[in-house]
Amino acid sequence: MRLYRNLVFATVDALGEIFNEGGYADKVIAKTLKRDKRWGSRDRGFIAETTYDIVRWKRLYAEIAEVKAPYSRENLFRLFAVWATLRGIEIPSDWKQIEPVPTRRIKGKFDELSQIRKFRESVPDWLDELGVKELGEEVWEKEIHALNQQAPVILRTNTLKTTKEKLQQELQKEGIETEFLKGYPDALQLKERTNVFQTEAFKNGLFEVQDASSQLVAQFLEVKPGMRVVDTCAGAGGKTLHLAALMENKGQLIATDIYENKLKELKRRARRAGAHNIEPRAIDSTKVVKKLYNTADRVLIDAPCSGLGVLSRNPDAKWKLRPEFIETIKQTQEEILKQYSKMVKDGGKLVYATCSVLPSENEEQVKKFLSAEEGKNFNLAKEQKILSSETGFDGFYMALLEKNK
C-alpha cells in the first residue's frame, strides 16, 4: 500500500484534535474530510478508518511507541508509524516527520503486550477492572474483544415509504450491495462500507442508518397504530422514527428531550422520512413531564448511559469515560425511571433501554425501580440482554414493564 503525505498529515491532525483537545472522533473526522474536495472515496476512507484504528488501539500503540499524552506532533507521527508497521506498510525513507522505529522492536513489543488484556484490548485499567467486576472475567474478555471490532453498517428500512426488498433493489441500482439479516425484519447490512448518505435512496427518506440491536428497541415496546406513545429521551430521533413507522403514522407520538437542538434535527429527519405523527416537546420545565402523567399507552425510556455497548462505533469513548461519570449517570437513570414511568396510564407499557452492557445500568436499575414505591404498580414482562460478542452488533439492554390496570 502506498502512503500519500497529505492523507497522513490529515490523519495526524485529526488525532491531535481527538487526543489533545478532547474532540469527538466522528465530528473531527467529518470536519477533516471536508478539507480537500479533490479527495476521492478511497482517500476519505483511508483517513477515517486509519484515524478510528489508532483511536481504538491508542493505549497499545502508545505503549509500543513509548509516548505519553499530551502527544506532540512528533509523538502522533510515532503512533502512526506503529500502526503502519503492524500492517506491513512501508513509510517512505524521505519522510523526515516520521522517525524510523525498528520493525523488529515494534513487533516484539506487540507480541509481549498482547499477553496482557488491558494492552491487547487497549482499555484503561479502571474500565478493565469494572468489566471484570460486572460481567465476570470470561464474558468481559469476549465482550471487550468484540467491541474493538469495526462496526458493520446497518440500515433500517423506512416502511412508511418502501419495503426491505424494494430498498435493496434501489441501492443495487446505485451500486450498493446489501444482505438481509435474519431476526431483524427491517434491516439491511452493507456488504462493503460506503457513504450511503450520498445516495438518492437516503435523500428520499427510504432508510436510516441504525444498528441492528438498536432496531429491536422500538419493536420491544409493542406499539400499535392509533396509540399515544411518548419517547422520553428522543434525542435526534433514531428510535422515534422507527416507532412512527411501526405506528403507520397513526396516533400520537410525543418526542421529548432536554436538548432542543436535537429535537430540531428530529424534525428535519421526520420530514425526510415522511413521519407525520411526531410531536417534539422540549423539556424546559417539570410541567412538560407532569402534563403527560397517566396519559400514555406506551412509554420509551432510552436512558442516557455509559455507552459501553457501542464502543465499536465510538472507540474514543474509552478515553473520555470516567468512573465518576458512570456513577453519576446511574443516579440519572434511577431518577428518570421514577419520573417518566408516571406517564404510563393503567394497563400501559414501558420499555427501559440502554446501549450499555453493565448490569448496574440495566437489570439492577429495573430491580431497584420495581422494589421502590414508584414501581409497585409495574411488573417485568420480559427483558433482553444483547452482547456484542454473541451477535456482532451493538451491546444493548431492554426491559418491558407492564402497569397494572
Q: How confident is the model at residue 90 (pLDDT cuts 50, 70, 90)?
A: confident
DSSP state of 369: H
Q: Which of 154, 355, 357, 400 is catalytic?
A: 355
Reported as half-sphere exposure (CB side, CA atoms, 13 A), residue 343 has a value of 28
Q: What is the pLDDT of residues 356-377, one digit of tens each?
A: 999 999 999 999 999 999 999 9
What pTM, to 2 d.p., does this model score? Answer: 0.95
What is the average pLDDT value for the chain, to the nearest integer? 96
Mean pLDDT of 52-58: 98
**CA-atom Rg of the chain in angstroms:** 23
Mean pLDDT of 103-123: 95
Is residue 355 annotated as part of the catalytic site, yes or no? Answer: yes
φ, ψ of residue 229 to 5 degrees: the values are: -125, 140
Mean pLDDT of 331-352: 97
Verify cis geometry, omega within 30 degrees of 0, for the bond prior to 323. no
Query: Does 154-209 carry CATH code 3.40.50.720?
Result: no
Task: Please give the pLDDT value at position 237.
Answer: 94
How many CB atoms are closer than 10 A to CB 31? 12
In terms of DSSP H, where are the helices of 247-385?
A: 260-273, 286-290, 317-320, 323-340, 363-371
Residue with more model confidence, 9 or 1: 9
For 5-122, CATH number? Answer: 1.10.940
Which CATH class, in words, describes the domain spanning 215-403?
Answer: alpha beta
**Domain residue extents for the chain:** 5-122, 154-209, 215-403
